[in-house]
Amino acid sequence: MAKKYTMIVNLARCIGCQACTVACKFQNNVPEGQFRTKTPANGLKGTYPNVSVFFIKEACQMCQNAPCVSVCPTNASHYNEDGVVLVDVDKCVGCMYCLTACPYDARFINKETGAADKCTFCYELKVSKGEKPACVSTCVGSALMFGDLNDPLSQVSQFLAKHKGEVRKPEFGTHPRVQYIYEGVVR
Amino acid sequence: MDVIWGVSQNEVAWGQLIAIYLFLAGIAGGAFLTASVTDIFSKKQYPKVIRSGAYIALVSILVGLGLLVLDLGRPLSFWKLLFNVNMGSVMSIGVFIVSGFTGLSFVYAYLVWSAAAAQNQIQVTSANTEVAATSVGQGIQAFRKPVAALGVLFSIATATYTGFLLSDVTTNNFWNTGFLGMEAIPFLPILFLVSATSTGLAATLIGAFRGGDLSTYKKIDMVLIIVEIVLISILYLSVKPIFFSGSMAALFWLGVVSVGLIVPLLLSLYGIAKHKNVILPVCGMVVIGGLSLRYFIVYTGQLFR
Amino acid sequence: MKRRNFLKGLLYGTGGTIATMGGFGTFNNRDLLKAEDTSKDETIVFSACEMCRNQCPISVKVKDGKVFKIDGHPNDAAFGGVICARGNAGPSLLYDPQRIKKPMIRTGERGEGKFKEVSWDEAYTYIADNLYKVKDQYGAEAIALASRKGPHDWFFRSIGKALGSPNVFSHEATCPMTRSVALETTFGNESIAADYGNAKYIISIGRNWFEGIHVAQTRAVSKALSNGAKLVVLDPRFSVTASKGEWLPIKATTDLAFVMAMANIMIQENLYDETFISQYTQGFDKWAAEVKDKTPEWAEKETGISKDKIIRITREFAAAKPKAILDFGWRTAYTPNDYQLRRAIMIVNMMIGNLEVPGGYYRTKPANFLKNFPDQAAYAKGLGNVKQPGFPTPARGRVDGTGVKGTLGQIIPAYDGAVGQIVESIITEKPYPIKAWLVHRFNPYISITGSPRVAEAFKKLDLLVTCDVYMTDTAYYSDVVLPECTYLERYEPIFDMSGLTPKYVIRQPAVPLVYPDTKPYWQIYKELGEKMGLGDYFQFNDMEDFITQQLAPTGLTLANMKEIGAWTPPGMKAFFVRANDAQASLENVLGNKSKKIEIFSEEVEEAAKQGVPKYISHPQPEEGKFRFVQGKVAVHTNAGTANVPILNELMPTNSLWMNTLSCIKLGLNDGDDIVISSGKYEQKGTLKMTEGIRPDTVFCYHGFGRISPELKRAFGKGINDNHLIPNVVGEVGNAVTSTTFVTVRKA
Ligand SMILES: Nc1nc2c(c(=O)[nH]1)N[C@H]1C(S)=C(S)[C@@H](COP(=O)(O)OP(=O)(O)OC[C@H]3O[C@@H](n4cnc5c(=O)[nH]c(N)nc54)[C@H](O)[C@@H]3O)O[C@H]1N2
Ligand SMILES: Nc1nc2c(c(=O)[nH]1)N[C@H]1C(S)=C(S)[C@@H](COP(=O)(O)OP(=O)(O)OC[C@H]3O[C@@H](n4cnc5c(=O)[nH]c(N)nc54)[C@H](O)[C@@H]3O)O[C@H]1N2
Ligand code: SF4
Ligand code: SF4
Ligand code: SF4
Ligand code: SF4
Ligand code: SF4
Ligand SMILES: [Mo]
């Protein structure tokens, strides 16, 4: 049965340590100066001494109605059998149409391949082998969870049963598979 | 700035090469349109206009395509665009429109050129070869009208597609602006079609400015400018002001509005009143305005999201 | 291949102690690893990280002879297969072309940066000749050694001790020494740790778990928070840790007032554990007398934290007893008398009796300690020592007066010493001159306070030798630079990382030397020792041999350790002495003669005239001046990683944090180029305008402003905090980093 892979980012737990950022670079040997993911501060809010801040992991949101896929002239951008959005480097001509279409700035043209690149949920190298994505398994704050929503016993299903997951920029109707938990953070 | 506390700003995926491509594709479309329409309705009267239009169309689309390929992350694999088709993607459809257009402009340019060449020959060659020469000429010249007619369609398609290419990016609330707030009717295709026609016409006129009395064209051009002014005003009213106040503001008010529309309009009014020939400056400014418009739209859409 | 990986995934997934039974039990996974080894595709090598000194257990993925990814060790429950950003960046250091690749000897003026590459033998000869020259001329005591405390010390220090020098130092004085001394003088034992994971209430006094990362600790605090624990953070700036709890922007250097007020309230309101105090401690009455007048009102004036908050937090803290932790800090070098703060903190902890219980403090449980407990003895498999002849007794005492009775030196741990004193003794030649300085895995120029003074000291030396992986700022001033290979290319002695159970971790090479002329420290100092005729002190052939000697008594073998990476006694549960019996004896936990927790300490009374901690009020910045504080950042290590490619990419420089109001007062703007002045010295930098800091305080991340041009990426970028901080040697030899005031102006 097809999987419904989902990543959960529990913002209250994220400490902005960037272990995910670096793990991703090596797992997917992303060229110097380019990133599939980053976890910057969302900007300090409030005035001294009543301030708050949280860090937010940015990467491909794995839209199920993905603008990057619909605009791709060569079908290089596609959904795989488990609903993961991937780029077929072979078909990609590097036209950057998908870059302009992605509302989450998740994509870039890989310096070395010249093709569009982005988070793949580590599908090829990890997930398809039954392992967790590199960023998830190295998450120092235990802020990241990954699993199959079609499996009611998976950590993600269990967690989302108890906590409210939200997607970024819902107004675009992209239906992301990456969900953010805002409980315990000041927006 | 560091990754933890630093602020990341929007990067521009499509830069000037794309802006210039959209501009040139517009010119090409407009020029071909001018030439072919002229050809169909009054071939005899404006040979220079037809020639100018046909050649400009071919040259600009070839240069434009060159830039487009150069801008690819993998220029050498551009041909894959022809073998992997996504009918849902404006770019994929565009590939075929533009290919068709380019093919036609080749044929058309050749026909126009060979006709002209034949003309010259008639003057130079001796009586006995005359028949042969013209008959050969007439043979292919038979295709000229149908090609021109087909060209009209493809010119319009090419000009509009450059607009759809951007307006189809539904996640870009500037490019995706609807006409008079109507989601169904995207704004840019309309704007780009008008702008393409006016810039293409202008370019053609520059190429043919000693082509005798062009007053009809001047009038058409003025109408187009006025229509464009109306469209730009609508755009201005239907999207967030930030788009016109940001780092692209200067380009918009100077390039697009002043140089591209207001001044040429006033100038041509003045020209008509005083019976002066202002065709070169007017057309020149219209062309510059068209280029500014593409730059403005391409960058603004990506910078302020 | 896929299937094998998957199986392995399952295997490692089983986690924690069960899987580490591999030590003896699950040899079945050896076959898997064997199969791995033969497969060209991907091999996994268990080892330990060294991107900082926490040496977290790692599993290194090697493909076609190259390290391509480093993960946490999957079987170590405390680490949960997690490593931090720096640990993940290991390959970036390993393959950095800017590493030093050959031994070098200075050719130009000192600090001019002119070197010639030499053979190891030339380097050894040069060092040997000059060390003996110094020894003959000034005595062995004129030779100082300083290193980042670690497993290399056994080898590195042997050189100095064998020559008869008393002056061997660790970096500790710049780091947790006031804490160590506080633990030593209170419990007679400095190996006390905190069980954050089970705590219900945690108060941090500047401890910054979420930027000053220790994977196991950071995860434990996260776990506690997930389980609903409350976190209170005293810090003059809004650290990431502060953002996860209640932030109390305390005036720096006044923490002791807060802690004494807590004691005052707990006594007033009778919130403390009287039975614990009477059963296990001595001198509580003297403490009670000392804090009698340390009221919340008084503390409010000192600390800037409202008395209501102090009272409320104290009550909440006491209510959570004994699963509450008033944290004793890690980098505890804020003030000259920081030591008294750390004592007071532990005293207040003892007032809620949180020793040897889950969610409190505990003495670490190495094998030799377990021997004392019949029901645990079975797990006590202690490491053996490698024989070494006795070292000659030094002719003179140490330059820092360590060990001298009746002085503060009496309580300074001789193993560590006051490393800042080396600099002073070189310059002032008091109590006697230091003429040669061997530096290993340490960068005094950036790490010791008073960089300009450190440089001045360097210039006065006859010999400065640095062993590092980079041409650091210190190396740049050296006569000889020795290139060590990285942790991913070498064996090291088995690390005893015992916590609530004994734990051994191995470091083994994941790949052969990337730069063939680099060497591991044990080989460097063994060879240097032999060159100097001190070969007897290095009685092992190579590190495999050394490890085998270590493991002999444990029943483990080198092969076992190579295969499992980390070992804990199979089946052993976390062991707290008072877990089930609140009255259980702490005899074995307490190392001091009195066998009591010494709230009042005779020894300290003798040494520091402070039997119990006394409050000293430190000056606060006057108008126009700012208190200057520093801290760690998650993506860099101290003086170590500014030039590591990927980490430099993430954070190439630091900036000076200043409160928005203060910026406006000074007409400064976010991102402005500024000059920071301590009066005597200046540093250029950029300004970060923020609401997240006290208006009277400025802050920067430590470890930037590098002066060695060979650190091509980091050179000249950012602020070197220690350029502005004078080199003051604190009460127990500690560095002092939070008492400096600076002014700031537009550049
Ligand atoms: N990522 C990363 N992790 C590390 C390290 C690293 O370099 N990088 N270094 C490791 C080492 S060696 C150590 S020692 C630990 C250090 O671990 P921590 O001690 O937690 O590290 P710091 O960030 O130095 O914490 C200093 C904090 O104390 C605050 N502070 C300064 N003066 C005062 C004061 O007077 N009172 C109070 N209440 N707060 C004050 C500073 O603003 C800063 O936020 O981290 C270890 N882990
Ligand atoms: N003002 C101020 N001063 C401070 C601090 C502060 O916060 N503020 N922090 C203090 C603290 S907590 C500490 S612990 C000290 C730390 O001070 P240091 O111990 O000097 O800093 P580290 O970054 O731990 O590493 C020192 C050197 O070890 C080298 N190194 C890394 N790996 C290896 C190896 O495998 N072999 C060899 N030979 N060398 C290696 C690195 O290149 C680096 O040059 O700084 C202290 N100084
Ligand atoms: S590793 Fe986890 S905690 Fe660290 S920044 Fe990434 S998501 Fe946040
Ligand atoms: S986030 Fe961007 S790249 Fe990822 S699926 Fe959505 S649109 Fe495509
Ligand atoms: S860049 Fe590649 S993936 Fe993106 S739209 Fe163009 S062809 Fe498709
Ligand atoms: S899932 Fe893989 S590719 Fe995506 S961000 Fe995490 S590590 Fe990078
Ligand atoms: S804390 Fe990070 S850098 Fe330090 S040893 Fe552990 S993983 Fe390596
Ligand atoms: Mo430290």
Say what the pLDDT of residue C20 is: 34
Dist. CA C329–CA C737, nearest whole Å: 14
**Span from the CA of C175 to the centroid of ligand 8 (angstroms):** 4
Closest by CA to C92, choosing from A30, A15, A118, is A30
Q: Residue A59 C-alpha to ligand 5 middle, in angstroms? A: 17
pLDDT for position B124: 58
Contacts of B2 in chain C (CB under 8 A): 633, 635, 650-654
| Environment class of C14 (CB within 10 Å of its CB; exposed 0-12, middle 13-18, buried 19+) | middle
Q: Which residue, by CA, sits nearest to atom 7 of ligand 4?
A: A102
Confidence of residue A114 (pLDDT cuts 50, 70, 90): very high
With a 6 A CB cut-off, is A54 part of the ligand 6 pocket? no
Cβ–Cβ under 8 Å, residues B26 and B298: no
- Cβ neighbours for A26, distance < 8 A, ≥ 6 positions apart: A134, C68, C69, C70, C88, C91
Would you state the pLDDT for residue C297? 98
pLDDT tens per residue, range B272-289 = 888 888 889 999 999 999
Q: What is the rounded end-to-end Cα distance, in angstroms, of chain C? A: 60
Mutate to test the interface with B, among A14, A44, A63, A95 (most CBs of B within 10 A): A95
Q: Which atom of ligand 2 is nearest to the CA of C722?
A: 1
Residue B42 has pLDDT above 90, yes or no: no
DSSP run (H or E) holding C647: helix C645-650
Smallest CA-to-CA distance from C206 within C228, C232, C173 is with C232
B163: closest CA of chain A, how far (Å): 14
List all residues 6 or more positions away from C365 whose beta carbon is below 8 Å from its beta carbon: C376, C498, C499, C500, C501, C502, C575
Paired tokens of A68: 């990057």
Residues B242-254 have a mean pLDDT of: 89
Is residue A167 within 8 Å of residue A8, measured between CB atoms?
no
pLDDT digits (tens, 9 = 90+) for A64-88: 999 999 999 999 999 999 999 999 9
The neighbouring-strand residues paired with A117 are: A108
pLDDT score of B215? 84
- CA–centroid distance, residue C89 to ligand 7 (Å): 10
Residue contact C650–B5, C-beta within 8 A: no
Whole-angstrom distance, CA of residue B303 vs CA of residue B175 = 12
- Pocket residue to mutate for ligand 7, from C79, C84, C495, C507, most atoms within 8 A of Cβ: C84
* Distance, CA of C466 to CA of C474 (rounded, Å): 7
Contact call for residues C403 and C410 (beta carbons, < 8 A): yes
E strands within C196-355? 201-205, 230-234, 246-248, 281-282, 324-326
Beta bridge partners of A9: A144, A180
Reported pTM? 0.94
Tell me the two tokens of residue B177. 């602006």
Please name every residue paired with A108 in a beta bridge, in sequence order, or none if there are none. A117
Ligand 5 centre to CA of B172 (Å) is 17
pLDDT at C33: 37
Residue by residue, DSSP assigns C10-70 as HHHHT-HHHHHGGGTS-THHHHHHHHHHH-SS-EEEEEE--SSTT--EEEEEEETTEEEEE
∠ CA C186-C188-C193, rounded to 5°: 75
Chain B residue numbers with beta carbons less than 8 Å from the beta carbon of C647 are none
> Listing from the earlier edge strand, what are the strands of the sheet with C66-72?
C43-48, C57-63, C66-72
Of ligand 1's listed atoms, the one at least distance from the Cα of C697 is: 42
Residue among C175, C50, C178, C68 at smallest CA distance from C520: C50
Q: The tokens 């760690």 sit on which residue?
A: C632
Report the amino acid identity of residue C237: R
Contact map slice: A 58-97 vs B, CB within 8 A: 67, 70-76, 91-97
Give the containing element (helix H, strand E) for C528. Answer: helix C521-531
pLDDT of residue C24: 33
In angstroms, the CA C592 to CA C603 distance is 11
Query: What is the helix, strand, coil percentage profile of chain C, to 5?
Result: 35, 15, 45
Phi, psi of C39 (to 5 degrees): -75, 125
Residue nearest to atom 4 of ligand 2 (CA): C447
| H-assigned helices in chain B | 16-42, 47-71, 80-83, 90-124, 127-141, 144-167, 187-207, 215-238, 242-245, 249-250, 263-274, 279-303
> What secondary structure letter does DSSP report for C245?
S
For atom 1 of ligand 6, which residue has the closest CA?
A: A121
CB contact under 8 Å between C653 and B5, yes or no, is: no
**Residue spans of chain C under pLDDT 50:** 1-39
Closest listed residue to residue C71, CA positions, set C80, C18, C63? C80
- Residue C532, CB-side half-sphere exposure with 13 Å CA sphere: 27
Compute CA distances B260 → A63, B283, C231, C580, whole Å: 41, 9, 63, 86
Distance from CA of B4 to the nearest CA of C (A): 8
| Mean of all residue pLDDT scores within chain B | 90
Q: Please give, rounded to a whole number of angstroms, the shortest distance from the CA of B15 to a CA of chain A.
A: 10
- Amino acid sitting at position C307: K
For B112-159, the pLDDT digits (tens) are 998 888 877 666 555 555 444 455 556 788 889 999 999 999 999 999
A19 vs C contacts (CB less than 8 Å): 82-85, 87-88
Q: Which residues of C touch B4 (CB under 8 A)?
A: 633-635, 650-651
Please, is A137 exposed, middle or buried when counting C-beta atoms within 10 Å of its C-beta (0-12, 13-18, 19+)? Answer: buried
Residues B142 and C424: their CA atoms lie apart, in Å, by 101
pLDDT score at C284:
98
- Pairwise CA distance, residues C605 & C678, whole Å: 35
Q: Among A25, A90, A13, which Cα is nearest to A55's?
A: A13
Number of H-type helices and E-type strands within chain A: 5, 10
Q: How far is the CA of C212 from the centre of ligand 8 (A)?
A: 9
Cβ(C698) – ligand 7 distance below 6 Å: no
Contacts of B98 (CB under 8 A, 6+ apart): B25, B61, B65, B158, B161
* Helix, strand and coil in chain A, % to nearest 5: 20, 20, 60
Q: How far is the C-alpha of B83 from the C-alpha of B94, rounded, in Å?
A: 14
Q: CB-CB: which of A40, A95, A116 is closest to B6?
A: A40
Instruction: Name the residue with the closest Cα to ligand 2, atom 17.
Output: C447
Q: Are C42 and C59 in contact (CB under 8 A)?
A: no
**What is the reported pLDDT for B122?**
62
Instruction: For residue A31, give the DSSP letter.
Output: P
Q: Quick check: A40 and B3 CB within 8 A?
A: yes
Q: Which two tokens stand for residue C714?
A: 């980091």
Residue of C30, C33, C42 lying closest to C2 (CA atoms): C42
Q: Which residues lie closer than 8 Å to A122 by C-beta, 6 or more apart?
A: A27, A28, A131, A132, A133, A134, A135
